Amino acid sequence: MPLSVSLSIEGDTTVIELEGELDAKTAPDFHQTIEKAAGHGTSIVEIRMAGVGYMASAGLRSLVFAQQKVGEHVTIKVVGAIEPVSRTIRTAGLDRSILLCDD
């Protein structure tokens, strides 16, 4: 399934909503959205992943890219990731610097 990516601003939070599969083929779309999110200057980037059914290693690299792009002063939250996706994030150790939230 192709990746659908949207970006919006809600107060001091930049919201990125993803739906589909986050893999090597679709990661560039996510990267473009991260570039836009980094320019908004909000203190939180919330990545809503409830619609992501699969995340490959390219998706993990995308999250690392997001951390690098937005900087240390911005909190990255991954919200609503299904168990296989959240387990992939935890296994990679990214949950030490990215907040995983159920909702």
Q: Give pTM, 2 decimals.
A: 0.90
Confidence tier at 38 by pLDDT (50, 70, 90): confident
> For the segment 60-73, what is each residue's pLDDT rounded down to a tens digit?
999 999 888 888 88
pLDDT, position 39: 82
Burial (CB count within 10 angstroms: exposed 0-12, middle 13-18, buried 19+), residue 8? exposed
Cβ contact 35:69 at 8 Å: yes
